């Protein structure tokens, strides 16, 4: 059930429907703006003022008070939502407030909702509100035999942003819908199990995006033999025990004009990570969650879907995924095997569970040959990154300070948390091998850093490279500000911001 968001220049007094959500900045004594005072006195019988006084509502962040309006009122239910202090206002404030309004209205079984927020025609704020609404109302019930809502089903179908001229709001609403469609694609790819999302599924998804947005995309799917010819021994070593064939995906967005900049997004695409012969065994190994090990590729394809709709000028974007499964069979890599990557470097696989970096090695070498300005890779690379930063923050490593800063800014705007970590060169000692050029793992301590250092060895020509370890934030068992449990769609919105503002 999709929600239609529209803007209306009308005020709350002229609106009729099920729910009205009003947002208020924090004040020592809440003073309603004039238009709400008169609404309160006429249509709402003084309910707003009673709520404020009785609940001592101050408009603090994450606070709210609500009431049912009796009789034949034009509006049946109201909620006052606190925005917190105006000096702490960010786009995230709007997303959270909009999500709170949407959840409330859904819970209250409203079919229609009006939003009266102090927006002042701020286009980014309008977009953030639409994002908050759309992101929170996506609930993935594809694999449930029946919907969770009690009968009779009442769906929230229409949300009106009041005091907001439609022609001013339209571009922001369109953009929010486009962005959220990519986030939802990423969420659904991550949440679907490994028996339904395979390397072929990822390849088909890339081809479908290319087909849908027509002439602006080209797509190349390299089959196993193609990868053999390119000498992608590291990628193929990981894939070799699976019954499913690997797919190397290269989707390219071509802007209408000659590109001024070229960038690649490289996503880890392990549709399942059993660990290989270093099997994920025992409590805490989370083998049953390892369908999420393609979240980097899900975000890559999610971003591609958005870019196909926005069609940003002047930038060429390469979306690259080396997709496969890390399985066990008699054909499996032995711990200790030596693989040769496509740049000729040899790798001693001292741990078959450090497989993501092996697939990324060949994907990075491939991207590095495309003469790009920048490469960013996204990978559910290490449990160590979750230990370091917890479940809601991604780790960032980069060889280029300006690029790192651009990524941090893109993430801040998206409200997706990220923290820069060091590329500590001296830890490279841990990856020295007696027999080969590198080992694929170092010691337990600093495991997210040695993972990043390993990847860095496979980028030689591209002036800016960044690695995002997203093992924590791509999945959540709990409901959050504006996503339901499951795949979160992290960091699609950061990627879109990064691409659309690259060197501008
Ligand atoms: N896919 C895992 C990392 C992971 C862990 C993702 C938890 C999401 C949640 C990765 O392939 C892996 O197994 N990493 C090892 C690296 C180690 C062997 C150096 C890890 O983190 O234990
Ligand atoms: Mn692994
Ligand atoms: Zn993995």
- Which pLDDT score, from 0 to 100, does residue 1 have? 63
Q: For residue 429, is pLDDT > 80?
A: yes
- Residue 469 has what pLDDT? 99
> Mean pLDDT across the stretch 328-345?
98
Active site residues: 280, 357
Q: How many angstroms separate the alpha carbon of residue 139 from the centre of ligand 3?
A: 26
pLDDT value, residue 264: 99
Percent of the chain at pLDDT exceeding 90:
95
Asked if the model's pLDDT at residue 100 lies above 70, the reply is: yes
Q: Are 402 and 275 in contact (CB under 8 A)?
A: no
**Residue 260, helix vs strand vs coil:** coil
Q: Tell me if 5 sits within 8 A of 130, measured CB to CB.
A: yes
Rounded Cα distance, 312 and 496, in Å = 10
Is pLDDT at 70 greater than 90 in this prediction? no
pLDDT bin (cut points 50, 70, 90) of residue 214 is confident
Confidence of residue 465 (pLDDT cuts 50, 70, 90): very high
> Mean pLDDT over residues 176-196, rounded?
98
Relative to the alpha carbon of 325, which ligand is closest?
3
Average pLDDT, rounded, for the chain:
97
Pocket residues: Cβ below 6 A from ligand 1: 273, 286, 293, 351, 353-356, 380, 382-384, 441, 447, 471
| pLDDT bracket for residue 449 (50, 70, 90) | very high
Distance 235 CA to ligand 3 centre (A): 13
φ/ψ of residue 9, rounded to 5: -70, -10
Number of H helices, E strands in the chain: 14, 19
pLDDT of residue 147: 73
Q: What's the CA gap between 328 and 88, in Å, rounded? A: 51
pLDDT at 391: 97
- Label residue 498 by pLDDT band (50, 70, 90): very high
Distance of CA 79 to the CA centre of its chain: 29
pLDDT tens readout for residues 247-273: 999 999 999 999 999 999 999 999 999
Give the DSSP letter string of 453-486.
Answer: HHHHTT--S-SEEEEEE-TTTTEESS--SS--SE
Residue 358's pLDDT is what?
99
Express each pLDDT in 367-401 by its tens digit.
999 999 999 999 999 999 999 999 999 999 999 99
| pLDDT over 90 at 152, yes or no | no
- Hey, how many other C-beta atoms are within 10 angstroms of the C-beta on 29? 6
Confidence of residue 286 (pLDDT cuts 50, 70, 90): very high
Token pair of 329 as six digits: 């069979």
Say what percent of the chain tops pLDDT 70.
100
pTM: 0.97
Q: Whose CA is nearest to atom 14 of ligand 1?
A: 382
Ligand number, closest to the Cα atom of 351? 1
Amino acid 115: pLDDT: 98
């Amino acid at each position: 059930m999709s929600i239609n968001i529209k803007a209306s220049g009308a005020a709350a007094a002229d609106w009729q429907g099920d729910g009205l959500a009003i947002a208020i900045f924090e004040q020592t004594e809440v003073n309603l703006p004039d238009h709400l005072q008169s609404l309160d006195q006429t249509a709402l019988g003084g309910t707003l003022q009673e709520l404020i006084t009785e609940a001592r509502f101050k408009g603090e962040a994450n606070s709210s008070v609500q009431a049912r309006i009796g009789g034949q009122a034009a509006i049946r239910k109201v909620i006052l939502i606190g925005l917190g202090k105006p000096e702490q206002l960010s786009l995230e404030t709007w997303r959270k407030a909009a999500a709170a309004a949407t959840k409330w209205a859904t819970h209250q079984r409203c079919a229609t909702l009006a939003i009266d927020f102090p927006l002042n025609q701020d286009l980014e704020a309008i977009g953030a509100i639409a994002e908050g609404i759309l992101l929170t109302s996506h609930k993935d019930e594809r694999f449930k035999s029946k919907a969770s809502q009690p009968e009779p089903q009442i769906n929230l179908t229409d949300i009106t942003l009041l005091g907001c001229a439609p022609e001013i709001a339209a571009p922001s609403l369109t953009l929010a819908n486009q962005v959220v469609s990519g986030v939802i694609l990423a969420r659904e790819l991550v949440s679907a199990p490994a028996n339904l999302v395979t390397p072929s599924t990822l390849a088909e998804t890339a081809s479908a995006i290319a087909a849908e947005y027509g002439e602006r995309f080209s797509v190349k799917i390299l089959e196993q033999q193609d990868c053999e010819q390119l000498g992608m021994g590291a990628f193929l070593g990981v894939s070799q025990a699976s019954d499913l064939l690997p797919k190397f995906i290269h989707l390219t967005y071509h802007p209408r004009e000659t590109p001024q900049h070229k960038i690649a997004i490289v996503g880890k695409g392990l549709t399942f990570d059993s660990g290989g012969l270093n099997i994920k065994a025992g409590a805490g190994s989370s083998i049953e969650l390892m369908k999420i090990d393609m979240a980097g590729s899900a975000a890559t394809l999610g971003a591609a879907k958005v870019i196909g709709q926005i069609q940003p000028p002047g930038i060429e974007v390469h979306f690259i995924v080396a997709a496969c499964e890390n399985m066990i069979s008699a054909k499996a890599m032995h711990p200790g095997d030596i693989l040769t990557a496509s740049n000729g470097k040899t790798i001693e696989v001292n741990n078959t569970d450090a497989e993501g970096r092996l697939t990324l090695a060949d994907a990075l070498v491939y991207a590095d040959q495309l003469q790009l300005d920048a490469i960013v890779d996204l990978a559910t690379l290490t449990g160590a990154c979750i230990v370091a930063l917890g479940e809601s923050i991604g780790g960032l490593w980069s060889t280029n300070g300006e690029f790192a800063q651009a990524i941090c800014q893109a993430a801040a705007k998206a409200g997706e948390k990220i923290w820069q970590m060091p590329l500590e060169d001296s830890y490279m000692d841990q990856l020295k091998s007696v027999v080969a050029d590198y080992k694929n793992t170092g010691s337990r301590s600093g495991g997210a850093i040695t993972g990043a250092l390993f990847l860095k060895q496979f980028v030689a020509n591209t002036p800016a490279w960044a690695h995002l370890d997203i093992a924590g934030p791509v999945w959540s068992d709990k409901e959050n500000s504006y996503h339901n449990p499951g795949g979160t769609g992290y960091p699609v919105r950061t990627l879109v911001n990064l691409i659309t503002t690259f060197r501008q």
